[in-house]
Structure 1
Amino acid sequence: MKEKYDVIGMSCSACSAHIDKAIRHLDGVVDVNVNLLSNSMVVEYDENQLNQASIIQAVENAGYKAALENNSVTSKQQEESVDHKKRSLILSFVFLIPLFYISMGHMMGAPLPSLLTDHENMMVFALTQLFLTLPIMYINRGYFQRGFQALLHKSPNMDTLIAMGSSAAAIYSIYAIFMMGYDLGHGDMVGAHQYMMQLYFESAGMILTLISLGKYLESRSKKKTTQAIEKLMNLMPSVATILVDGQEKVVDIQDVKIGDIVVVKSGQSIPVDGVIVKGQTSIDESMITGESLPVDKGLHDQVIGATMNVDGYIHVQATHTSGDTTLSQIIALVEDASSSKAPIAKLADQISGIFVPIVMSISLLTFITWMTLGGQTFHFALTCAIAVLVISCPCALGLATPTAIMVGTGKGAQLGILIKSAENLELLSKAKSIVLDKTGTMTKGKPQVTEVYPIDIDKTDLLKIAGSLESASQHPIAKAIVSYIQSQNIDFQTIENFEMLQGKGLKGKQNEHIFLSGNQRLMEENQVDLSDVHQLASELAMSGKTPLYYARDGMIIGLIVVSDVLKETTKEAIQQLKHKGLSIYMLTGDNALTAKAIGKQLDIEVIAEVLPQDKEKHIRDLQSKGERVIMVGDGINDAPALMRADIGIAMTSGTDIAMDSADIVLMKNDLQDVVNAIDLSHAVIKNIKENLFWAFFYNVIGIPIAAGVFYPFLGWLLDPMFGAAAMSLSSVFVVSNALRLRFFKPKTKREKTEEKMMKKKMNIEGMMCAHCQAHVEKALNGIDGVKAEVDLKNNCAYLELSQDVAEATLTKAVEDAGYTVKGFE
């Protein structure tokens, strides 16, 4: 039996590893996968030897909580967790800011109330800091509960380090308050003042608050990631129209049975997988196959649930129920890939496993040694023991990773690279293989006219005829051809007797001539002789392009070639990835001819006509060889592979599902940003290792001095105040080093490409509000090669053109949206 559990209380990879170990020791366990990202665990076990209660008890004995998965409850808990962390963080800062001002303000010459200054107010000064620190410690009590509980279970983690660090600073400060009171009571003002300068409450507050900030950001990322499966489920229509005794009846999707006849009209989503038994149509399968062009379908052709019926009326006989469709299988794969992805062991967590017990042991040994062998006072022994803890405070260790990650991910965001967690960066730097989707990732994802071949006719006349025919159609290929003709500043007329021939093409009449536009089957049915273009059409098909035939009065007059072309930066990005030593693969659901043509052009390995399940399988096959794999995609069909890969990278031009399933999102839809992301990951991981060095540098030097090792020989002894200063200095080094990542510069050549962009100003009339602004921006940005920003106040739009776009095309887009163009500058 295989079951999934929600696990509460994990904070780092040491936690997930400890739970994994605890469950594997149970008799009857076949396999276990603990997922830190989704706070879940999948256990496969022999139900004759083990039960749910024993598994849950084992998790609780390890110091955590578990329950059988409940998606609705989990989603609610996750929402509450993010909100709780946000409230706790705000409250922590509310108390931290005055605490810092009071404790450090006098050192910077800031004015303090007279109640907190001078010798007679030393106890008020100290107690004010204590009472500002206690709320911060209470608000963040979870670190102490989890940290010390983990320590009791002999599995120290980052929570243990946080708890130890803040506790060491707070306990010593409380000890200093007691000594202040003692010295004041005995009239020793010098001694009391010395202890007043040894209060480290602000250190305890800072550790807890900064770590809480990182935890809050992490929780937000986790919340977004787990929404992917829910969005997948929402793609399937909730109802279907079926034929019952010849009458249409709307039923719940769950009530559709195998063999039912489902009616699907133009513009509707197909409810279930099935076979067409009546009608012809074009179906947009891009969300499943990745194919950018709609696919013509007729009798006995198979259709996939959740795909879009573009422009036909069909009857579909259901071959699968709603729970067994292709989309349902994709959802299952996403869930499985998410739950089986192994957590990454953080370097800081590995170090914490030995660092905390060693420091505690040294501190205890220091106290015992000076009490038994050194002949020193209790005060001396305690001071040395606490000095060891203070200088060993893991504040810098706690900052080493999050500061570098925070700066690195912030820099990534500036570059249009959205990175969801630290472990994504860590894995990205170690990847050896990269798998690329084709449509929308390597290519533009939209059909475009690439070639025009007139036959016994002028090219302009061919385009006029094509424009007249295609302007009456809403098919994506027709729209691409019309857009191209408009960009050439060619006018065309309205066609007469327009007729759409489902699955074949278009027919119309103009000036007493009969025109045809469509595929080879349409031409053959109308006895159009294609012998003159047969070889050309074959060569185009072999190169993966789609030729559209045009005929006049039964005679072929030309071909217009439409294809999904490579993005301008794809070739350069592929070369850069090769130079980094990455093995590159292209997996696509597109036809083999198109895919192989692109593979030959880029000199990469290609696997075409791959179903979504097979994409995920290819990722697993590469991982089984010990390779860390990057997957880059943009479609729903890529979601299982994105989740299965060690690192999933999605384009924002794709679906929300792909972006939610991915670990990294590229805002600029540019493969060059994959190169930039890899370079950034190497820079961040290097920075983290440097930070960890600085985090321990002062400990290695200071711990022996703090313990009094050199006191009998050289008289060296580290005052806790100087220990805290050293600790703070190591934190300054860590933060300063992390800030260097702000100067990271990508090595790609996009800047040169951007410099070539043409700029124009378009003056527009008729815009009245923000909705108008949005309509115009949408219309202009929908044109290939156009980036538009509309200025409502000045009634204009600022355009950046990455390719030559005719002003007539720009004008038509705005006028179609309902506004008037007054000219260009």
Structure 2
Amino acid sequence: ERMRIVDAVLFDKTGTLTKGAHTVTDMAAAAGVTEDEVLRVAGAVEADSEHPLAKALVAVAQDRGLQATARDFRSLTGRGVQAVVDGTTYAVGGPALLREMAAAVPDELVRASHVWSARGAAVLHLVRLVEGGHAEAIGAFALEDEVRPEAREAIAVLREQGVRKIVMITGDARPVAEAVAADLGFRPGVDEVFAEVLPADKDKAVADLQARGYTVAMVGDGVNDAPALARADVGLAIGAGTDVAIESAGVILASSDPRGVTGVIRLSRASYRKMIQNLAWAAGYNVVAIPLAAGVLAWAGISLSPAVGAVLMSVSTIVVALNAQLLRRVRLTPGA
């Protein structure tokens, strides 16, 4: 019932609006370090991580036969990961990691990062930690995730359905997020992008939209999306997502196709129409038939025998049930 009045839909980017299958498209190394060495260390640091970006790095390192062993692995929630390789502590992460560690970034890596971000790639840095707490970036990687073609259609249909605001939330850097939003057809000044958001803060984005008067539907698939799914007016979990996300949501989409959100809205509105129609039919019968059967107009020669009234009651029930069955004609499948 709530889905029919949703006026803001908040999508988690990775795995929902994009395919979630990142590939390493570029890399750069600081002076004095080779790209192979940077990739070897980064692959070792990310080996125990479950993040899609980590898996992409590890896959490339393995394909090139660049192996190393890491120890003391530690996940830095929302920022990256850290481990010790060959006796030196390294970290791999995005902009939040660089800020937290106040890492020095060589000019060549800065230039490369700007070029990659401008085209919508996610950028990760390999940071080396040295004695005294000093941190320096020694490598950078560009990872790109293809936008789902059906995501553009989903957003267009949501607008046709009267959804006032489309919102995307991601932990990626803002240039990357805005490039993806532009590709998806977000309207400047109307739709919104929450970028560089820590996992723990996703539910705050939902609360912010609600505080502004929006009825919010949140669409996500990961463990980090669970609090936001629970806080939203309607939480929709991608069926291929994690169990935690599915448990936190009110609606489970059977596939990863974001057009399923438009189907849920369509079903919600159609169900509500049937509720009103059936209520009107049932109330109309009771208002007319019961008084007649009770003999209210007997003085005027108008009456309805109890037996006929009982038959009409059965007919009324059948009509209501058949009318509800017409919901099967509502087209919910994407592309139908």
TM-score by length of 1: 0.30
Equivalent in 246, 250, 254 of residue 659 of structure 1: 246
Once the two structures are superposed, residues 85-129 of structure 1 have per-residue CA deviations (whole angstroms, 9 ceiling, x without a partner) of: xxxxxxxxxxxxxxxxxxxxxxxxxxxxxxxxxxxxxxxxxxxxx
Once the two structures are superposed, residues 319-375 of structure 1 have per-residue CA deviations (whole angstroms, 9 ceiling, x without a partner) of: xxxxxxxxxxxxxxxxxxxxxxxxxxxxxxxxxxxxxxxxxxxxxxxxxxxxxxxxx
For 1:163, the equivalent position in structure 2 comes to none
AA at the equivalent of 2:311 = A
> How many residues are treated as equivalent by the alignment?
280
Q: Provide the C-alpha distance between the structure 1 equivalents of 2:43 and 2:211, rounded to a whole number of angstroms.
A: 50
Q: Map of 1:465-476 to 2, 5 A cutoff?
A: 474=47
Residue 706 (structure 1) aligned with residue 293 (structure 2): yes
AA at the equivalent of 2:255 = K
For 1:545, the equivalent position in structure 2 comes to 122
Deviation at 1:672, TM superposition (A): 0.7
Q: Provide the C-alpha distance between the structure 2 equivalents of 1:609 and 1:495, rounded to a whole number of angstroms.
A: 30
- Aligned CA distance change for structure 1 residues 547 and 581 (closer, same or farther; 3 Å): same
Once the two structures are superposed, residues 227-259 of structure 1 have per-residue CA deviations (whole angstroms, 9 ceiling, x without a partner) of: xxxxxxxxxxxxxxxxxxxxxxxxxxxxxxxxx
For 1:727, the equivalent position in structure 2 comes to 313
AA at the equivalent of 1:568 = P
Residue 561 (structure 1) aligned with residue 142 (structure 2): yes
AA at the equivalent of 1:451 = T
Structure 1 runs not aligned, ≥5 long: 1-425, 455-461, 487-491, 508-517, 521-528, 550-557, 752-825
- Aligned CA distance change for structure 1 residues 609 and 682 (closer, same or farther; 3 Å): same
- Aligned CA distance change for structure 1 residues 585 and 473 (closer, same or farther; 3 Å): closer
Contact between 2:25 and 2:144, CA under 8 Å: does it hold in 1? no
- Aligned CA distance change for structure 1 residues 506 and 539 (closer, same or farther; 3 Å): farther
Equivalent in 163, 175, 182 of residue 600 of structure 1: 182
Q: Map of 1:126-525 to 2, 5 A cutoff?
A: 426-446=1-21, 448-449=22-23, 451=25, 474=47, 477=53, 479-480=55-56, 494=65, 498=68, 503=82
Output the aligned Cα RMSD: 3.9
- Aligned CA distance change for structure 1 residues 731 and 612 (closer, same or farther; 3 Å): same
Deviation at 1:597, TM superposition (A): 2.8
Q: Provide the C-alpha distance between the structure 1 equivalents of 2:65 and 2:216, rounded to a whole number of angstroms.
A: 53
Once the two structures are superposed, residues 208-233 of structure 1 have per-residue CA deviations (whole angstroms, 9 ceiling, x without a partner) of: xxxxxxxxxxxxxxxxxxxxxxxxxx
Once the two structures are superposed, residues 766-801 of structure 1 have per-residue CA deviations (whole angstroms, 9 ceiling, x without a partner) of: xxxxxxxxxxxxxxxxxxxxxxxxxxxxxxxxxxxx
- Aligned CA distance change for structure 1 residues 623 and 494 (closer, same or farther; 3 Å): closer
Find the residue that maps to 1:639 and give its secondary structure: helix
Q: Provide the C-alpha distance between the structure 2 equivalents of 1:662 and 1:674, rounded to a whole number of angstroms.
A: 13
Deviation at 1:519, TM superposition (A): 9.3
Find the residue that maps to 1:746 and give its secondary structure: coil
Contact between 2:45 and 2:85, CA under 8 Å: does it hold in 1? no
Residue 637 (structure 1) aligned with residue 224 (structure 2): yes
Contact between 2:285 and 2:316, CA under 8 Å: does it hold in 1? yes
Q: Provide the C-alpha distance between the structure 2 equivalents of 1:610 and 1:560, rounded to a whole number of angstroms.
A: 20
- Aligned CA distance change for structure 1 residues 632 and 431 (closer, same or farther; 3 Å): same
For 1:650, the equivalent position in structure 2 comes to 237
Q: Provide the C-alpha distance between the structure 2 equivalents of 1:562 and 1:687, rounded to a whole number of angstroms.
A: 48
Find the residue that maps to 2:14 and give its secondary structure: coil
Find the residue that maps to 1:439 and give its secondary structure: helix
Q: Provide the C-alpha distance between the structure 1 equivalents of 2:294 and 2:144, rounded to a whole number of angstroms.
A: 74
Find the residue that maps to 1:630 and give its secondary structure: strand
Find the residue that maps to 1:665 and give its secondary structure: strand
- Aligned CA distance change for structure 1 residues 611 and 681 (closer, same or farther; 3 Å): same
For 2:329, the equivalent position in structure 1 comes to 743
Contact between 2:44 and 2:85, CA under 8 Å: does it hold in 1? no
- Aligned CA distance change for structure 1 residues 738 and 572 (closer, same or farther; 3 Å): same
Q: Which shows bigger deviation, 666-675 or 656-665?
A: 656-665
- Aligned CA distance change for structure 1 residues 708 and 473 (closer, same or farther; 3 Å): closer
Residue 575 (structure 1) aligned with residue 156 (structure 2): yes
- Higher gyration radius (CA): 1
TM-score by length of 2: 0.68
Contact between 1:540 and 1:547, CA under 8 Å: does it hold in 2? no
Deviation at 1:427, TM superposition (A): 0.9
